[in-house]
Structure 1
Amino acid sequence: MMRRRTTLLTGCTALVLALGATACGGGPVSAGGGDKALDGQTVTVAGVWSGSEQKNFQKVLDAFTEKTGAKTQFVSTGDNVSTVVGSKIEGGNAPDVVMVPQVGVLQQFAKKGWLKPLSPAAQKTISADYAPVWKKYGSVDGTLYGLYFKAAHKSTVWYSPEAFTQAGVKPPKSYDELLKAGHTVSDSGLAAFAVAGQDGWTLTDWFENIYLSQAGPEKYDALAAHKLKWSDPSVVEALTTLGKLFKDKQLIAGGQKEALNTDFPGSVEKVFGPKAEAGMVYEGDFVAGVAHDQFGKAIGKDANFFPFPAVGGGTAPVVSGGDAAVVLKDAKNAKAGMKLLEYLATPEAAAVWAKAGGFLSPNKKLDLAQYGDDVTRATAKSLVDAGDTVRFDMSDQAPAAFGGTKGTGEWKLLQDFLRDPSDPKATAAKLEAAAAKAYQD
């Protein structure tokens, strides 16, 4: 039911694993001393991560063990977090901590009465070290349940510096400049964009960045909560803007038909693979992991990014996603689970994974020097500096039937729109009909 955007590719999200990082003093990051107060206890943690992400998170769990004496056990749930955790709770085998990948799932868990409110210590750290927006997305009905440990930056456009040099273009500052630069790249022999239309979630990300910048954060919040209808003129306007890109055969590698047959890794390959077909691919910071791990690109040299540019008279958007740590109320060792969560809230814990690569933290107190390369530092700084202007991925806030299911809802309707973007108003009406049904259910 639920999908996981930043883990669709096992092991593909490491930004630059080849580049090591050190702590501020030049030595390796460690969890420090600790009093081993949890000796003999075991904390079970469930989450979607596998491959390199699971290995890197295990380093964080090992640092917690070193500090507290508690053993840890990680269980990979796959994408269906809600179903797996629900069945474990019903079977009397609830994990202590769950890493929840979507706001909608966190809200679902809270409304089912599955979650323990965060401890005063965790709440104090989050209030001091995180922008209030992260507290908002971790709360349900005014109660704080979730700590956002790992974040994604979904407002990054990745490009081939070689293609830009060949075309004589520079990273654009506005959406109009982006399309203009795209035409110049196209004139030089490459398509402007590789679009992963086979994966509906990438199209929702395109829409969300345009909508946030063009319509503004208030309307974005209202649409995300379905307090604003998808048939609203602001939605039609954003679809019209997106449609101009979709129907421009000069801009999309292979045109609409090929885009609909291109998945996310395939879109990265079209820009950074052995045979380049396009100069740019829009998606989150995790593009770098694919470019580096699969195609051997040096991040910052062979592959780089610029922020998703401002649309119209709006400001440049910062759309994010993330994984929130929650403690289950029915867990056998919820007390030790809360101690893990208090540890995850610290910059010390974030530094362990930052050093390993493939990670961004919303924690303001994490020193950027802990990241292993300049590009990761730049994306992390952009995310933290955005403060309360960050908005969580809209489709991740929606019921899964609308915002997170293959072949239905927003995913399918935006794929249909990519196929034929001639009637934004009709598409908006279809989106509203699908949303109304999903939010009612």
Structure 2
Amino acid sequence: MNEDLINFIWRFRLFRQKTLLTSRNEPIEIISPGFYNSHAGPDFTDVKVRIGSTTWIGSAEIHIRASDWERHGHSGDKAYNNVILHVVYENDLRMLRADGTEPSVFVIKPYIPENIQEHYLQLIRNMNWIPCEKQLSRVDPIYVEDCLQRMLIERMEEKSEQVAELLNRNQGDWSETFYILLCRTFGFKLNVLPFELLARSLPMRILERHRDSLFQLEALLFGQAGFLEEPASDEYILSLQEEYRYLRHKYSLTPIESYLWKYLRLRPQNFPAVRLAQFASLIHRSPHLFSRILETREPVALRKLFEGISMSSYWQNHNKPGKESAKIAAGLGRESVNNILINTVSVALYSYGKYTDNSHFFSRSICLLESIPAETNRIVLKYREIGVKSMSADSSQALLQLKKKYCDQKKCVNCAVGARIINSA
């Protein structure tokens, strides 16, 4: 037994409702279990119960043992003075509120149906890829769909909180914040850190001053990436080095260390130099990019902002400075564009909508995800194997959230699918 399960049982009134008694053998009726509180303070608010002939309205606190009240420090916390009911699995200690009074105690253990605990234990004890892997096919698809919708919003909310923190560090500058988010995405997992460090060392306002010159953008980006520090004999690299020395002195820049860039198991078209050249081309072609994204309503038009960029001819046959290679595609591939739209553009739109309290941007964010094919990573493919198909990026993003935050942590009682299985007859 754990607190999550008791919370779940209380929240959905899955305990037997007749002839309930408090720890003092007083008759109690649960008129309303209240609303779950995910913030600080008691677990449930607006609880309504009738004890004897008196009706009480206040908060309820849930614990495995009554002594957890003391262990969690509630006895000295005035925020718990409005607790009218202490719901426990075992009543092992009498406890008091900060004001010296004692709330009523309801021992829920005798009223929990055996099948609830059995179904819960069957889920959390198995070693399948996800706890409900064997039972999932028996769950009505409407509950799965409801679960995925909740997961998507939860994922977007979490990401928007991260954006809000970044925005705060950038003193409310949305253009700079979007630039850092975009750089992170251009790192494509393996090089997220060096791309972010590069963005922080080279403010967007400097790139904007030189956006008309692709050559100067490359000098700034490759120089700050640490790729122009080594001696060179290549004519183009020598010219970039010369230009970077001038710009570095002008803006008092300090490059990041080149050893931070990773190449392990990367295909040549994903090498850092190629991504930097593509990024330079994007900045050159699309000034004031974040403003343009806010103004661009249709998903197809948003995609076009990132499609068709063409890096300079030098990088089309060089995947490292001074190192010739086979022909490299000049622009971003379809999957790369999808990655940017999913992990940067949709998140930025959602976050901006939350920041401005404008639901229009929420809708545009979700519509954008719905217009993009589902990702094909191992998690999405595995869910497909066990019967949960995703056709677009909104559902594949939801599946990533479900796996990481719920299935892996076996938080079945907090999942609509898991809750349905636990409560099944």
TM-score range, shorter chain: under 0.3
Task: Name which one, 1 or 2, has greater alpha-carbon Rg.
Answer: 2
From the two aligned structures, give the one with the greater helix fraction: 2
Structure of higher RCO (CA pairs closer than 8 Å, 6+ residues apart): 1
Q: Using structure 2 for the length normalisation, give the TM-score.
A: 0.25
